[in-house]
Amino acid sequence: MDLSLQGKFLSFLESKSIRRVGGIEEIPVNLRVISATNVELEQVVGQGAFRSDLFYRINVISLHIPPLRERGNDVILIARKFVNEFNVKFNKHVKGLTNDAERKLLSHSWPGNIRELRNVIERSMIFAKTDLIDAGDIVLSNIVQQTNYSDGLFLPRGLSLDQIEGEYLKKVLEWNNYNLDAVAKQLGITRKTLWEKRKKYGLMKE
């Protein structure tokens, strides 16, 4: 948020009113503000990149949430929540994670925090072969740390699980420029399985 916008936001917080574009009437607004940041705002204030008056205005109650890597078994509890969420989304019946899968999750540093864990569980749900996610279904890559993808994967609602898997496989192939060894490693599958899936989804381009 640039400094000029910070000033407008502070004015809004003080007046608790808004004015429509092109309008003159002040419209009162009753709300509460919950904000989050992954930077030390005190340091940013000292650098002149964040207004001190806005900082003190929003810093009424502060909660520090430690990164996922410092939260121990919370990783497993959150992963189970995501399993339930994706069971509904994909109409699957995955019961949970094996002990090996849980150990694999606990061994990871999670540089992408909750978002990374959510993506890992979603990917595992798509490729899980049984009603339990095993360690082999979980791809904990250094993908987040080492790979800079210029675009993400956005899917419309209403796709079947096969359609989702096909679209995801297509995107991973594109991300890796059809380097099949890299794709198989990223997905945690063998070259033979990759060949079968490419054939299934019409992705046999070399």
Could you report the per-residue pLDDT of 112-144, keeping only the tens digit for each?
888 899 999 998 988 788 999 998 888 876 543
| Residue 134 sits in the same domain as residue 78 | yes
| Residue 154 sits in the same domain as residue 137 | no
Q: Among the three residues 37, 58, 79, which one is the final residue of a domain in this structure? A: 58
Residue 52: its pLDDT value, please?
A: 93
Closest C-alpha among 103, 105, 102, 82 to residue 94: 82
| Residue 135 sits in the same domain as residue 202 | no
More confident residue, 154 or 84: 84
CA–CA separation, 118 vs 186, rounded Å?
17
Q: What is the tally of structural domains in the chain?
A: 3
What tokens were used for 27?
Answer: 């419209």
Q: What is the mean pLDDT of the chain?
A: 84
Domain interval for residue 156: 148-206
What's the average model confidence in pLDDT over 22-42? Answer: 86
| Residue 77 sits in the same domain as residue 120 | yes
Beta carbons within 10 angstroms of residue 159's beta carbon: 13
Q: Backbone phi, then psi, for 9, in 5-degree steps? A: -65, -40
| Residue 200 sits in the same domain as residue 188 | yes
| Residue 73 sits in the same domain as residue 51 | no
Helical spans, DSSP H, in the chain: 3-15, 41-46, 52-58, 74-90, 99-107, 113-127, 143-146, 161-175, 180-187, 191-200
Predicted structure pTM score: 0.54
What tokens were used for 147?
Answer: 């790979």
DSSP 38: S
